[in-house]
Amino acid sequence: SLQDQFDNLEKHTQWGIDVLEKYIKFVKERTEIELSYAKQLRNLSKKYQPKKNSKEEEEYRYTSTRAFLATLNEMNDYAGQHEVISENMTSLITGELTRYVQELKQERKSHFHDGRKAQQHIETCWKQLEASKRRFERDCKEADRAQQYFEKMDADINVTKADVEKARQQAQLRHQMAEDSKAEYSSTLQKFNSEQHDHYYTHIPNIFQKIQEMEERRIVRIGESMKTFAEVDRQVIPIIGKCLDEITKAAESVDHKNDSQMVIEAFKSGFEPPGDIDFEDFTQPMKRTVSESSLSNSRGDGKSEPKFGSKSKGKLWPFIKKNKLMSLLTSPHQPPPPPPASASPSAVPNGPQSPKQQKEPLSHRFNEFMTSKPKIHCFRSLKRGGAGPEDFSNLPPEQRRKKLQQKVDELNRDIQKEMDQRDALTKMKDVYIKNPQMGDAASVDHRLAELGQNIEKLRLEVQKFEGWLAEVEGRLPARTEQPRRQSGVYETQNPSGVNSCAQDRESPDGSYTEEQSQETEMKVPATDFDDEFDDEEPLPTIGTCKALYTFEGQNEGTISVAEGEMLYVIEEDKGDGWTRIRRNEDEEGYVPTSYVEVYLDKNAK
């Protein structure tokens, strides 16, 4: 029946809407996957990005690591394209289809409402026709009965004429009512037939046509959405392809030769390889000497000197640890002596920290170290644990040249900044002179003077570093106050050799040892050395201390104190058992922490 068809169509169109909503949900989940994937890619790229101002950032100067960095950046852009996919699918598919589904539901509801209304109207017309038909049938039967009753009365001779006339009139009335009912039935029938024709040939087909068109639009729309689904992906393929092309380009830019050369430049020391070691003939009754070609005999006066052990320290020139010089010039290496059992000064032995045997060799080596090139620029800064000498003489020649060049470039940049400020202030001063109402020209004179002084200081610094740089590059002769300097090999080797004497008489690889009787006290000459430190500011005092026992400072870096003496504390015990103190501006050094009672100033920094 027609009602069954309406039910079928209603179920089918509802199924179509369900399919559309299912597809919307599918696309929505796809966009969430794209966003999650993009987020994971971005996090991955960020995770492996070099941290600023870290060692990792320095590693990205090589072509291989720069290619990896480019890959990380391209992966970031790659992730951005997946975000574009998600955004476009959300706006072009999910959003549009969601709005369309709402409109489709309203349209479907309207069509089926019209269909139900048309069905109700035809059913009402049918009921009216049935009522008119039954009335016509009833009136015909009543007319027939009235006619039969009249004929019966008219044939009966016993009935009065008046009764017969009454029966005849009743029959005529019933007959007229039947005719009226017939006419009404005929009119209702014609009207119903017309309505029924319109219902089945006009109204219902129109409604079905609209439902069909609605369903076809839904099918077309879901097909277009699927096409858009593919197009959104296809649109980003060229950009993703460019990202992949850039990754390929970065990979092709990897240059193994260049990277190897950068490593060579970074670690090139400038050392000259050691010469051959001559045969030492022990069968001759003569003092053992070291050949002139040995690295350990690099003194300018050409004298051969006795060594501290049976093996040549010169062999270890590339491997001496630079931090041994730093530790030599800080606190003493030996553990501090325990406090004496009694308070008597004579009861305190010198102990292992104050050997007195054979002071000449180590003093000679240290004197030679101080007069050899390069000099230690700031002895106090090294004792404080500073970063190294100002002229970078603790570095190999090639590394030192690079550091000096960087310093010169940095100072030139600072000079340019100061000059730019000076030029700007000069222009401002000219404006003030021409227009006094804008400001006082004399107000900038002080700042201009400061800038001039700063520029002059920076230029002096540049000259100083350029002198060192020229000396390293061989453009200037060596300094006259260092007659024993011979080669760049010795100037790096020699301090290391001095350090090894004070480091428990042991080389870094344990190949050289010396008897304790050869440990000596270093005596540093004041000439040319103290001049280097006149400008150095003394360490601030952080408290006071009282000597509990007498301590005879015999080691380099220690200071002797008398029992009960009050002194200034300038450096706390750093866990090695030594405290640094000062007696006056010229006398300072280390004493065992257990020998003094320290009173720190709470306000001291």
Q: How far apart are CA 255 and CA 261, in angstroms?
A: 10
| CA angle, residues 498, 581, 361, in degrees to nearest 5 | 20
Report residue 570 as tokens: 């300038």
Query: What would the pLDDT profile of 273-306 be if each residue is shown by its tens digit?
Result: 888 888 888 886 554 444 444 444 444 444 334 3
CA 246 vs CA 65, 78, 104, 239, 319: distances in Å: 15, 11, 47, 10, 43
What residues of the chain score a pLDDT lower than 70? 1-2, 54-57, 284-335, 340-388, 475-538, 602-605
Q: How far apart are CA 301 and CA 520, in angstroms?
A: 23
The single residue listed with the structure tokens 């001039």 is 452
pLDDT at 249 (0 to 100)? 93
pLDDT at 54 (0 to 100)? 67
Q: How far apart are CA 240 and CA 252, in angstroms?
A: 18
Q: What is the DSSP string of 195-239?
A: HHHHIIIIIHHHHHHHHHHHHHHHHHHHHHHHHHHHHHHHHHHHH
Nearest to 207 by CA among 275, 353, 107, 332: 107
% of the chain surpassing 90 pLDDT = 33
Report residue 478 as tokens: 């060596």
**Amino acid found at 459:** R
The single residue listed with the structure tokens 């058992």 is 577
Q: What is the DSSP string of 341-377?
A: SSS-GGG---GGG---S--HHHHHHHHHHHHSSSPPS
pLDDT at 556 (0 to 100)? 78
pLDDT at 399 (0 to 100)? 78
Residue 598, H or E segment: strand 596-600
Tell me the three-class secondary structure of 373-442, residue by residue: CCCCCCHHHHHCCCCCCCCCCCCCHHHHHHHHHHHHHHHHHHHHHHHHHHHHHHHHHHHHHHCHHHCCHH
CA 518 vs CA 296, 355, 505, 521, 554: distances in Å: 18, 9, 9, 10, 15
